[in-house]
Amino acid sequence: MVVIVLTACPVGLRGDLTRWLLEIAPGVFVGHIDARIRDRLWERIIDLLRDGRAVMVYSDRNEQHMAFKVYGADWSPVDCDGLQLIKRPKEAKEGSFVGTPRKGWSNASKYRKARKFSKRN
């Protein structure tokens, strides 16, 4: 089983893939092809894909029973003790300081102190 997901790809590439796979949604192709055709299709995708992205997931003989390839995306496959995982880049939100703790007391701590001091009076 092979699943290919394309983003921002040329129309001609989608037409080429429909010869071998079924397009079940825009840019999502599914089918059952052998490894030789799968590898050649992946090479064709890389050749024709300009600034788009491609992800291919296929059946494989390993513990996960699948493997995947990624092209043109920020996410990258990483081998972690024999398991293939996807590593996402850490995105910083606007106005937040990633990695630096905020100064001062938390709201929960403030409420707890206020409750503690109000019981004394």
Torsion angle, alpha carbons of 44, 45, 47, 52, to 10: 170
Q: Where are the domains of the chain?
A: 2-91
CB-based contacts of 72, cutoff 8 Å, min separation 6:
49, 51, 52, 53, 54
Total-model pTM = 0.72
For the chain, the residue count is 121
C-alpha 20/C-alpha 73 separation (Å) is: 24
Residues of the chain with pLDDT under 50: none
Q: What is the DSSP letter of 9?
A: -
Q: What is the pLDDT of residues 15-42, one digit of tens each?
A: 999 999 999 999 999 999 999 999 999 9
The structural architecture, per CATH, of the domain 2-91 is: 2-Layer Sandwich (3.30)
C-alpha 81/C-alpha 64 separation (Å) is: 12
Q: What is the DSSP letter of 67?
A: E
Alpha-carbon distance values, 3 to 55, 61, 114, 118, 119 (Å): 8, 16, 57, 62, 63
The per-residue pLDDT for 93 is 61
C-alpha 54/C-alpha 73 separation (Å) is: 7
In the chain, the percentage of residues whose pLDDT exceeds 70 is 89
The per-residue pLDDT for 119 is 73
Q: Is 38 exposed, middle or buried (0-12, 13-18, 19+ CB in 10 A)?
A: buried
